[in-house]
Amino acid sequence: MKLVFTPEEIIAIVQPRTQRGATQQSIRGLSALGPAQTGELSFLGNAKYKAEVASTRASIVLVPAEYEGEPASDQLLLVVDNPSAGIARICARLEQELWPKPAPGIHPSAVIAPTARIAPSATVGPLCVVEDGAQIGERTHLQAQVFIGRNAEIGDDCWLMPGVIVATECVLKERVRLQPGVVVGSDGFGYDFVEGRHQKIPQVGQVIIGADVEIGANSALDRARFSKTLIGEGTKIDNLVQIAHNVIIGRHCILCSQVGIAGSSTLEDYVILGGQAGVGGHVTIRKGAKAGGRAAITAEVSAGSYVNGNPAMPYMLERRLAVLQPKLPELFRRVSGLEAEIDRLKKASAP
Amino acid sequence: MKLVFTPEEIIAIVQPRTQRGATQQSIRGLSALGPAQTGELSFLGNAKYKAEVASTRASIVLVPAEYEGEPASDQLLLVVDNPSAGIARICARLEQELWPKPAPGIHPSAVIAPTARIAPSATVGPLCVVEDGAQIGERTHLQAQVFIGRNAEIGDDCWLMPGVIVATECVLKERVRLQPGVVVGSDGFGYDFVEGRHQKIPQVGQVIIGADVEIGANSALDRARFSKTLIGEGTKIDNLVQIAHNVIIGRHCILCSQVGIAGSSTLEDYVILGGQAGVGGHVTIRKGAKAGGRAAITAEVSAGSYVNGNPAMPYMLERRLAVLQPKLPELFRRVSGLEAEIDRLKKASAP
Amino acid sequence: MKLVFTPEEIIAIVQPRTQRGATQQSIRGLSALGPAQTGELSFLGNAKYKAEVASTRASIVLVPAEYEGEPASDQLLLVVDNPSAGIARICARLEQELWPKPAPGIHPSAVIAPTARIAPSATVGPLCVVEDGAQIGERTHLQAQVFIGRNAEIGDDCWLMPGVIVATECVLKERVRLQPGVVVGSDGFGYDFVEGRHQKIPQVGQVIIGADVEIGANSALDRARFSKTLIGEGTKIDNLVQIAHNVIIGRHCILCSQVGIAGSSTLEDYVILGGQAGVGGHVTIRKGAKAGGRAAITAEVSAGSYVNGNPAMPYMLERRLAVLQPKLPELFRRVSGLEAEIDRLKKASAP
């Protein structure tokens, strides 16, 4: 953050029960207790770091009622019921400052097709393109250089950041947030091999993205072959993730960065996939299942289970194998040793 | 799809031999037999799903001549020689509706350098940039917000979707299709380590993309150090794929999503790489070889072979190892058991 | 390269000590000795390829003083102290031709907010957006369709290629080069799980990118939760790399393509990560450590060490395991053989 808050402004945001000490410093950053510098604000979120409050250089520290230490000179302690909640209030305020609500309206540099329908309360920023028949919902914000294809529907209260592309006929429900560079509705990857050449199978389906979904920078979601690629309500997808055609993702899933999901696979609700995990085609991952980073899933994963490894297996087994792997050279030696012993025993017992 | 077709329009497209039953429903979607809803069209593409025709809720079903069942009420069966081919005709028609041929011409918001040459039949959409000396071929479509760098050449009948970037001096042959966000001609990743710093090696080569190549959303292809990065005719590349400098890819290859190919490697014709596969630098993959998803290839792969795993090995061996891995804990126990037995035998046979 | 140089121009650039032979050809490309064609220039950079000079079809060849061969007909040998350095001079010249220094000024199609500050010597190309309070340094070049968010600071002599996005409050120091499609300052991926839903944790920190950093096409760098994501001076990052929130990367590191680094991890100076490597959250990689391609790092890596594999382990151990893996089927058979032998010995020794 580059914004500056006076101690009085911080007090107004945090509304502490009481305070101890005082500081002349304006606050220019938030930081953990250890690395905090003069002019930064910190907080005691976990009692085990209590000792760090006494040595921190932070100019303001949020502490819970049970913290009894005294401030250093030029340091202000603000006593609050829940320091983490206090930080959250400051972050929320910062968020407003960093991204103030834009004024409704269409920037004169945006290119809006005649039959596009833009809600009066929506904001269409500079150099956006909205094609014919597309709809933009109330209070939705296309920040800049966004592309909305023919007949696409963007719901209310969405935020599409710079460079986002939503292609023809795709649908976003309410409060969807797309980070910069996201592509929704690229063609599915489907070809028939005919006489030595790959002949394109038309990809004429849609992508439908549920309410409260967030998708990370430069991720790509392919349209279905002829039905729908679906992202369920509340699901959160990180950066550089690949969602192939006809994938169905349930509600409130978490897909970490660089995950790839091949065509026609299904994730039920509350599935969590670690970073760089891969899911093969036509696979189902049942409700609440979890996969570790880099897991390679090519067969059904049962509800609530936790898998890891390549190929994915139960987490505890994968951890056990990870421990045994480095002992393989020794195991080979032990087996050679046993073979030598057997030879000796056989010779000794020979008549 | 959000388009609507009447039963009469469907009949006109599919041209069935005969028909049974009738429906009042307009068709608003295509679906497999099982999940199909009223108002959707489905098809019997594989005889083993024959029983599903009787229970499907689809309003129109394409069936082959040998299917003898009767339609439900408000359901129309269209008897055709090849239901899959019938679906393909509907998809092709949908494709035309979704992406109608754009009118030739240059959108007034596009920024075209004075010495760029745009074919009269080409379409340059809103907010595109075409730099000096660049050429755009006949009937080629730059959809929106596309960037074409100095002296780049785009062949005839290409389609570059929103946000595509083709940098200086790169070349696309005929009928190349680039999905949104593709980058062609970023610098190769090359540095000399000199006195504790990485000094950039100029990357002054090109990327040349053959006819009928398609590249998926947000993929990146680096220009060569000083010669050419080449993508052969008819090759298809999925989303988020990385092609490093001086890579040579043959004709009619398939590279699935998130594949990465390091510098100066060669893929001969008809190579297939599964999703998230990686190819190290200066490696050759011979004609028709195939690698499974997540395969890690660091040495030559022979023609026609099928490899898998990390490091890549013959597919059958990798499958065998995948079966043995979970038995490793038991193997360690068996070896410990053998050692105990040997000890006992040695003691027993000691004088 | 598509530029053409006469032999006289090449001589002016390379400034050879002496020359042998002559050519009528203009030079249209650079190539290695083996594949070089008429009209191309090549060089003997390594004495072991000496024999290839005699058979190359290159029209001009740079050779060291100790090379004694004679040119073919229509071939020019240029004798230089260091052929590789000679090629570097030609490449640097080509670089100037391909990307001539742009004239300072703001393209009329760019959208510049009233309070943005653009240095007089900077170039802001077509269809860029610069939001309020942003600063653009001296001689910096925003090529085309670049987005600079509110209060972001771009240092002197930077080059941001087409489609680059630098979000609110992020900072680039001097001479930073961002390849097309890079996203700096997307939100970190952080949620609290509250009553069955993922509630967003505001991400209000910055990304700070040191001097002389280069970042590859379509890579994504997340802003910190509330402090800073840092990329140290001189570090080079390849295409499609993911840097999560609060990651700290030291100086002069190398991150190859498709690497992913999870939240709050630290790389000290001079770390090298091979392609597709992954680093888990809250991990430290010490100074000068190196990881092979596809390495999966989930625990601290000590200074100067070289790791490989999943999970990452010392390189030599990983190589040893890679050799043993294919012998596992045989090991299982050997253990079964031993068990049979023991059984026989036990029976034989039974009274």
Contacting subunits of C (3+ beta carbon pairs below 8 A): A, B
- The yes-or-no verdict on residue C131 having pLDDT over 80 is yes
| Predicted confidence band of residue C83 (pLDDT cuts 50, 70, 90) | very high
Rounded to a whole number of angstroms, the distance from the CA of C13 to the nearest CA of chain B is: 16
Distance between CA atoms of residues C289 and C86, nearest Å: 33
| Res B128: pLDDT | 98
Residue A30 has pLDDT above 70, yes or no: yes
Among A155, A132, A255, smallest CA distance to A209 is for A155
Are C189 and A239 in contact, with CB atoms under 8 Å apart? yes
Sign for the CA dihedral angle at C112, C117, C120, C124 comes to negative
Q: Examine the pLDDT at A270 and tell me if it is beyond 90.
A: yes
Radius of gyration of chain C (CA): 28
CA distance A140 to C205: 24
Query: What pLDDT score was predicted for residue A245?
Result: 98
Touching C: B residues 227-246, CB under 8 Å: 227, 240, 242, 244
Q: Which fold has domain C107-317?
A: UDP N-Acetylglucosamine Acyltransferase; domain 1 (2.160.10)
Size of interface B-C (CB pairs under 8 A): 185
Q: What is the dihedral of CA B56, B61, B63, B69, to 10 degrees?
A: 50
Residue-wise pLDDT tens for chain B (351 aa)? 567 899 999 999 999 999 999 999 999 888 889 989 999 999 998 888 999 999 999 999 999 999 999 999 999 999 999 998 899 899 888 888 889 989 999 999 999 999 999 999 999 999 999 999 999 999 999 999 999 999 999 999 999 999 999 999 999 999 999 999 999 999 999 999 999 999 999 999 999 999 999 999 999 999 999 889 999 999 999 999 999 999 999 999 999 999 999 999 999 999 999 999 999 999 999 999 999 999 999 999 999 999 999 999 999 999 999 999 999 999 999 999 999 999 998 888 776
Which among A206, A317, A335 has the least Cβ separation from residue B335?
Answer: A335
Q: CA of B30: how far to CAs of A76, A89, A175, A207, in Å?
A: 65, 48, 28, 14
The answer to whether residues B250 and B261 touch, using CB atoms and an 8 Å cutoff, is no
Residue B99 carries which DSSP code? Answer: S
Residue B242 to residue C234, Cβ atoms within 8 A: no
Q: Does A86 touch chain B (CB under 8 A)?
A: no
Residue A275 has pLDDT above 80, yes or no: yes
DSSP three-state, residue B148: strand
CA distance A24 to C320: 61
d(CA C44, CA C33): 8
Domain locations along chain C: 7-98, 107-317, 324-351
Residues of B in contact with C256 (CB under 8 A): 189, 262
Residue C260 three-state SS: strand
Q: What string of DSSP letters covers A181-249?
A: T-EEEEPP--EEEETTEEEEPP---EEEE-TT-EE-TT-EEEPPSSSEEEE-TT-EE-TT-EE-TT-EE
Q: Give, in order, the Cα–Cα distances in Å from B326 to each of A290, B152, B295, C66, C333.
A: 20, 53, 20, 60, 16
- Residue, of A234 and A345, whose pLDDT is higher: A234
Q: Are strands A18-22 and A75-80 parallel, antiparallel or unpaired?
A: antiparallel
The number of angstroms, rounded, from the C-alpha of B315 to the middle of its chain's C-alpha atoms is 22
- CA gap C240, B270 in Å, rounded: 25
Say whether B278 and C256 touch across the interface (CB within 8 A): no
Question: CA B336 to CA A335: how far, in whole Å?
Answer: 10
pTM over 0.90: yes
> Cα separation of A311 and B123, whole Å?
47
Predicted confidence band of residue A347 (pLDDT cuts 50, 70, 90):
confident
The answer to whether B274 touches B258, Cβ cutoff 8 Å, is no
Contact C186 A161 (CB under 8 A): yes
| Chain C residues with beta carbon closer than 8 angstroms to that of B280 | 275, 293
For A137-151, the pLDDT digits (tens) are: 999 999 999 999 999
What are the structure tokens assigned to B101, written together?
């041929």
Chain Cα centroid distance, residue A214? 7
Residue of B107, B141, B198, B245 with catalytic role: B245
The whole-angstrom separation of Cα C138 and Cα C151 is 17
Note if the bond before B120 is cis, omega within 30 degrees: no
What's the token pair of residue A2?
A: 């580059």
State the sign of the Cα–Cα–Cα–Cα dihedral A185, A187, A189, A192.
positive
Q: Cβ(A100)–Cβ(C103) under 8 Å?
A: no
Considering only residues 174 to 193 of chain B, which have any Cβ-Cβ distance to chain A shorter than 8 Å?
A: 179-181
The H or E element containing residue B291 is: strand B290-291
pLDDT score for B351:
63
For chain C, the average pLDDT equals: 95
Tell me the two tokens of residue A16: 């502490």
Q: Strands B191-194 and B197-200, how do they pair?
A: antiparallel
Amino acid at A183: V
What's the ipTM?
A: 0.93
In sequence order, what are the beta bridge partners of A177?
Answer: A159, A214
Q: Does B275 touch chain A (CB under 8 A)?
A: yes
Residue A124 burial (CB count, 10 A): 28
Give residue-wise pLDDT tens across range A170-203: 999 999 999 999 999 999 999 999 999 999 999 9
C-beta separation of A346 from C337 below 8 A: no
Mean pLDDT of A124-135: 98
CATH code of the region A7-98: 3.40.1390.10
Class of domain A105-317: mainly beta
Do A179 and C187 lie within an 8 Å CB cutoff?
A: yes
Chain A residues in contact with C220 by the CB 8 A cut-off are 179, 181, 216-218, 239-240
**For an interface test with C, which of B151, B164, B189, B243 has the most C Cβ atoms less than 10 Å from its Cβ?**
B189
pLDDT computed for residue A88 by the predictor: 87
Q: How confident is the model at residue C348 (pLDDT cuts 50, 70, 90)?
A: confident
Which has the closest alpha carbon to A269: A223, A294, A314, A232? Answer: A232
> Which among A179, A222, A238, A242 is the top mutation candidate for probing chain B, defined by the most B β-carbons within 10 Å of its own β-carbon?
A242
3-state helix, strand, coil in chain C (%, to 5): 20, 30, 50
Section C222-242 average pLDDT = 96
Q: Give the list of residues 6+ apart from residue C290 with CB closer than 8 angstroms, or none.
A: C271, C272, C273, C305, C306, C307
The residue written with tokens 């037999």 in the block is B33
pLDDT at C2: 61
Catalytic residues of A, by residue number, are 245
The phi-psi region of residue B90 (left if phi > 0; otherwise alpha if psi is between -120 and 50; otherwise beta) is alpha
Report chain C's terminal Cα–Cα distance, integer Å.
87
Q: What is the mean pLDDT of residues C235-253?
A: 98
Radius of gyration, alpha carbons of chain B: 28
Summarize pLDDT for A223-265 with one digit per residue, the tens: 999 889 999 999 999 999 999 999 999 999 999 999 999 999 9
B149 phi-psi bin (left φ>0, alpha ψ -120 to 50, beta other): beta
Contact A204, A226 (CB under 8 A): yes
What integer pLDDT is reported at residue A2 of this predicted model? 61
Are the CB atoms for A340 and B342 separated by under 8 Å?
no
Residue among A185, A138, A191 nearest A166 (CA): A185
B7-98 shares its CATH topology with B105-317: no
Chain C: closest CA distance from residue A198 (Å):
27
Residue A341 has pLDDT above 70, yes or no: yes
| A2–C206 CB contact, under 8 Å | yes
- Rounded CA separation C64/C43 (Å): 9
3-state DSSP assignment of residue B52? helix
Mean pLDDT of all residues in C42-61: 93
Q: How far is CA C259 from the centre of its chain?
A: 11
pLDDT for the residue numbered A47: 87
Interface contact flag, C91 B168, Cβ < 8 Å: no
Residue B95, amino acid: E
Q: Which residue has the tokens 């090359």?
A: B190
